[in-house]
Structure 1
Amino acid sequence: MLTRILAASAALTFAACAAVSTVPARADDDTATQSADASHGRPVKVMIISMFGPEGQVWLDHLGPWQEIPVDGLSPDYPSVHCNKQDVCVMTTGMGHANAAASIMALTFSQRFDLRHTYFMVAGIAGIDPQRGTVGSAAWAKYLVDFGIQWEIDAREIPANWNTGYLGINTQNPTQKPSLDYRTEVFQLNSQLADAAFALSRNVTLTDNAQAQAARARYGYAPADLPPTVIQCDTLAGDTWWSGTLLGERARDWTRILTDGKGVYCTTQQEDNATYEALKRAASAHRVDLNRVAVLRAGSDFDRPYAGQTSADNLLNYAAQGGFTIAIANLFLAGNPLVQQIVTHWSQWREGVPQQ
């Protein structure tokens, strides 16, 4: 599941950056806000959504200087949004479904920003399927699937003719598609935006390191044992951090079931369905545009073991795979081409994704 190394120190890292940023903006001294439509707040071209400190820090390190803008209702660990002169902003939600939903709701209903034309880019690390990518690979998604909204039978008591203990709620077996009563089980992103993001970044050379190279070599098959690249495949959300070959098979199957065979699972994380649902509610109030949401997840660890390794070892020693540092770096390398394309050619992007 999603790598979350030293969350407490991550919070301190992000807080340290905030401490050296400019004086927090106020309604009476925020030049950008004064120049914007007073009823809508500061306009934002791109809002980068990170989930914990290092994911946000990589953007803060590259695209400053920054103005710090406190927003009521954000995580107490990350209480401010940081914006630069290009109208690119970075926020950090806090980890997990609850933090993501609460923070995005606070952001989108704040009077401090005009988000009606904003492009939102989720940029975070994730576990990755070794048959679809490798540690360090950066994946643009078209589908967001929730892995947590299922029925579960104790693994020791799975019926003999089933290959998993998971099944859709109110279904009769693991192969049936549920009725989607929660309305958050699966979301389809704007494929035109996803394709544009991929086209802009697909030839970017990503960061790698010797530790990750050694870890991926143990898999002995492609693409797991190849250098990281930018790819397109879909992401699975759930607060339970898991590891295992059979769970990985269920992740693939569940993605196919909920997307009617159109989605291809490759990354696993905790927040994205919650983030999107909060944006969807803001869109219903005409505060954001759901056609402007992109999701980028970089593999920081494999979601299942290599041959001869146990799932427990894969999970407990995930940090030994060496993917955390390169995944963080590759979020910026893969995501920044889209950010810069939007802000540099804003006249073409303001009214929507340009035709390719």
Structure 2
Amino acid sequence: MSRFRLSAIIVPTLLAASAPGAPGAMAAETVKPKVMVITMFGSETKPWLENEKTATRIAVPGFPKEYPDVACSAEGLCVLTTAMGYANAASTLSALIYSPLFDLKQTYFIIAGIAGVDPSKGTLGSAHWARFAIDGSLRHEIDPRQVPAGWTDGVLALGAKAPGEKAQWGSGTEVYRLNEKLLQKAFALSRETELTDSEEAHAYRAHYAQEAAKAKPVVSICDTLSSDSYWHGSMIAESMANWATLMTQGEGSYCTTQMEDNATLTALRRGADAGLLDFDRIGLLRTASNFDREGGDQTPVESLTAKSGGFGPSTVNAYRVASTVAKAIIGDWNTWANGVPGN
């Protein structure tokens, strides 16, 4: 995993009209990123640092010790790493949003990370732009060994009396719907991106009968499910699919699963409510590093612990797809500065 090891230096940059500063000096003006890429751990960040000229490092108080700064290019691309899980994601984004070092009012945010994938909707290395982000954890659960007769599982919405009933109360962070206009634009810009694959991933797909699982990786639109728990297996996955449908009132159907996005989006929502950023300028991309359940000839444990060959392609493809959109935004900033363009 890559790790930023640079001192707290903000160097002169074309990102803002700041006066040259000596090492350790603060910038004369805040930085105004055109695109802020959000990754969750070092292997997701690595392709950005290797392929983009992000020479400027801005240390941000409140960032995790292992990822203490934002890396920015002179053109307006910035990349940060939250560290994994809800607590890290929300804390890091909050530190960014309320830092005086940045002006994010016109910034486009692209969450670009890896995920598990439903084999009926994607394959190893595939890339999926999300319309809905659904929290898979804010609910009641009864141990499967104590589930009443007739129930499909022990999962209930908050305040409900049986599976399938709508929630009676909640936190307000259970479901986020991303800007459809930006979603469609991002997909149109990136759908033909050349995706990498691996021989190991190609061989591993033989465990699965689903056509999507056996296919080569592609770019698509589908929803993502968040949970701090790294769950795995077909029975849990079926329950999670039902949950995603319930929480989106039948509009959503998850295909990727990850450990941060609803927390990240909550921090961004709070920032938007405070007038510090535009929630309509958020794109959410997840690429498949593994299947979220076992293949036909496996147990869940065998599947969970297997080396599927999807990790390498997923980290590379997250960069390839997301950077295509980021570069389109930065390269035509006069068009994008005032909002997502039409056609």
Same fold, TM-score > 0.5, yes or no: yes
Question: CA offsets, 1:193-235, max 9 Å, x none?
Answer: 1111111111122100110001112202210011110011000
Residue number in structure 1 paired with 2:342: 355
Q: Which residue identity is paired with 2:230?
A: W
The match for 1:321 is: 308
Shift of 1:316: 2.2
- The C-alpha deviation readout for 1:305-334, integer Å capped at 9, x for no partner, is 0113111111122xx101100000000111
Preserved CA contact (<8 Å) 1:150 1:166: yes
Q: Does 1:118 align with 2:107?
A: yes
Matched residue, 2:250: 261
Which residue of 1 is the match for residue 117 of structure 2? 128
Q: Report what 2:97 is aligned to.
A: 108
1:183 matched residue in structure 2: 172
How far apart are 1:264 and its partner, in Å?
Answer: 1.5
Output the CA distance in 2 between the equivalents of 1:293 and 1:337: 15
Residues 230-241 of structure 1: matches in 2 within 5 Å? 230-241=219-230
Moved beyond 3 Å, runs of 4+: 29-36
In structure 2, relative to structure 1, the CA distance for the partners of 1:345 and 1:180 (3 Å cut) is farther
Q: Is the 8 A contact 1:49 1:91 kept in 2?
A: yes
CA contact (8 A) 2:124 2:314 kept: yes
Corresponding residue number in structure 2 for 1:342: 329
Q: Describe how 1:62-101 pairs up with structure 2 within 5 A.
A: 62-101=51-90
Alpha-carbon shift at residue 282 of structure 1 (Å): 0.8
The alignment's TM-score, normalised by the length of structure 2, stands at 0.94
- Equivalent of 2:134, from 124, 140, 145? 145
Give the deviation of 1:30 after TM superposition.
6.2
**2:166 aligns to what SS in structure 1?**
coil
> Where does structure 2 lack aligned partners over 5 or more consecutive residues?
20-26
Q: Which residue of 2 aligns with 1:200?
A: 189
The Cα offsets for residues 22-58 of structure 1, whole Å up to 9 and x where unpaired, read as 98207xx66744449x997111100000000011111
Residues 33, 112 of structure 1: 8 Å contact kept: no
Task: Please say which of residues 148-157 and 90-99 is displaced more in the overlay.
Answer: 148-157
Alpha-carbon distance change, 354 to 178 in structure 1, aligned in 2, over 3 angstroms: same
TM-score between both structures, scaled by the size of structure 1:
0.91
- Return the structure number with greater helix share: 1
Corresponding letter in the other structure for 1:145: I
Greater CA deviation, 269-278 or 156-165? Answer: 156-165
Residues 214-268 of structure 1: CA deviation (Å, up to 9, x unaligned): 1112202210011110011000001100111111111211111111111121000
SS in 2 for 1:139: strand
- Displacement after TM superposition at 1:134 (Å): 0.5
Q: Which residue type is aligned with residue 181 of structure 1?
A: G
SS of structure 2 residue aligned to 1:42: coil
Alignment partner of 1:25 is 2:10: yes
Tell me how far apart the structure 2 counterparts of residues 192 and 267 of structure 1 sit (CA, whole Å): 21
Return the alpha-carbon distance in structure 2 between the equivalents of residues 43 and 180 of structure 1: 38
Q: CA distance change for structure 1 residues 116 and 131 in 2, over 3 Å: closer, same or farther?
A: same
Post-superposition Cα deviations, 1:42-83, rounded to whole Å, max 9, x if no partner, equal 111000000000111111111114211101111111000000
Distance 2:28 2:234 in 1: 52
Per-residue CA distance 1:157-181 (angstroms, 9 max, x = gap): 2122111111111101111121452
Question: Any gaps of 5 or more consecutive residues in structure 1?
Answer: 1-9
User: CA shift at 1:336, angstroms?
Assistant: 1.4
Q: Distance in 1 between matches of 2:39 and 2:155?
A: 30
Deviations 1:267-325 (A, max 9, x none): 000100000000111111111100001100000000000113111111122xx101100
Instruction: Tell me the C-alpha RMSD between the 2 structures.
Output: 1.7
Contact 1:242–1:315 under 8 Å retained in 2: no
1:199 counterpart SS class = helix
CA contact (8 A) 1:23 1:67 kept: no
| Contact kept? 1:164, 1:246, Cα under 8 Å | no
Q: How many residues align?
A: 336
**Contact 1:40-1:111 at 8 Å conserved across structures:** no
**Contact persistence 2:14–2:74 (CA under 8 A):** no
1:7 corresponds in structure 2 to none
Provide the rounded CA distance (Å) in 1 between the counterparts of 2:190 and 2:17: 35
User: Match of 1:74, SS?
Assistant: coil
